[in-house]
Amino acid sequence: MGPKSIIGLAGTLIILLLVSSSVYIIPETHRGVLLRFGELIETNVPAGIHFKVPVIDEVREFDVRVLTMDLPARQYLTIEKKPLDVDSYIAWQITDVDTFYRATGGDEFRAQNLLLSRVDNGLRNEFGVRTMREVVSGERDDVMASLKDLVNETALKEFGIRVLDIRIKAIELPEQVRTNVYRRMATEREKLAQEYRSRGREAAEGIRADADRQRTVVLAEAFSKSEQLRGQGDGEAAQIYADAYSRDREFFSFYRSLSAYQNAFSSKDDILVIDSEGDFMKYVKDPRGAK
C-alpha cells in the first residue's frame, strides 16, 4: 500500500468520524435540547435523526413519558392540631422541554425536589384547614383534586411539568399517638367489660335470690304437706290402735307394757328391779297372765 492509499484511507476514516459525530438520534420516548458552547440554541428537539456540529454542539435528552415519584412520609397537622403521618406519590410528565431545562438545568433529581417542595406545602395547607375525619375519609378526594390543580398550575408555568395525579397512599397516626390511642381504647374496653361484669353479677344475684325464694316456698309447701300427711297417718294409726284396743283390751294392755319395757331397756347397761309379785312377772309365771 502506497502513501497515497494510506492518506486516502485516513481521510475516509476522518470523514466517517466527523459524519458519525454530526448525527444523533432522539428516541421516541424522549425529547432533546441542543447546546452550543453550553448555550441553548434549540429546544424540544423531536424524536428522530438530527445533525449537529461536532465537538461544538452537545445534545441533552429527557424522558417525556409519565413518571412517578414516591414522596417521603411527612407529618402534617389538622385544624384540630392533631398530627398525621402521610405517605403519598405523584405522577408527572415533562411537556415543555425548554422551560424544564431552563428551570432545572436538565436535572431530573432537582425537578423532583421542586415538585416535592410544592406538594409538601400544598398538603400542609390542605390538612391545616380540615379535620382528621375530613382528610381521612370525608373530603380526601377533594383534597387531592384541589392540590393537583394548584401544583399543576405552578409546575406547568415554572418548570414545564404537567402534574397528572397526586394520591395519598396511607394516613397514619404517629407512633406515640397510636400508642396513646390504643391505650385509651384498651381502657375504654376494660371499663365497658367491668360494666358488663357488674350487670352480670347483679343479674346473677337477682336470679340467685329468686331461686332461694322459690326453694323456700317449695320447702315450706313440702313441709306443710308432709305435716298434713303425718297428721292423717297419726289419726289413722290412732284409729287402728283404738279399734284394736276395743277388741281385746287385755292384749292391748300387755302389748303396751312390752313396748314400755322395750323402750326402758334400750341400753345393755339399763337395770330394772321388778317385784316378783308384780304384773310383769305374772306373764313369766303363767302365759295366760293369771296369778
Task: Provide the percentage of residues in the chain whose pLDDT is more than 70.
Answer: 82
pLDDT of 188-243, one tens digit each? Answer: 888 899 999 999 999 999 999 999 999 999 999 999 899 899 889 888 888 887 77
Domain ranges of the chain: 3-63, 67-172, 188-247, 249-291
Pick the CATH number of 67-172 from 1.10.10.10, 3.30.479.30, 1.10.150.20, 3.30.300.30: 3.30.479.30
Q: What is the pLDDT of residue 163?
A: 93
Query: Cα–Cα distance between 135 and 141 in angstroms, integer?
Result: 9
Report residue 252's pLDDT band, with 50, 70 and 90 as the boundaries: confident
Query: Cα–Cα distance between 137 and 47 in angstroms, integer?
Result: 44
pLDDT above 90 (res 144) = no
Range 250-262 average pLDDT? 72
pLDDT of 50-72, one tens digit each? Answer: 888 887 888 889 899 999 999 88
Range 140-150 average pLDDT? 86
pLDDT of 70-122, one tens digit each? Answer: 988 888 988 988 888 899 999 999 999 999 998 888 888 999 999 999 999 99
- Could you give the C-alpha distances from 12 to 6, 75, 92, 106, 114, in angstroms and in order? 10, 65, 47, 36, 49
Angle at the Cα of 118 (from 114 to 106), degrees rounded to 5? Answer: 20
pTM: 0.56
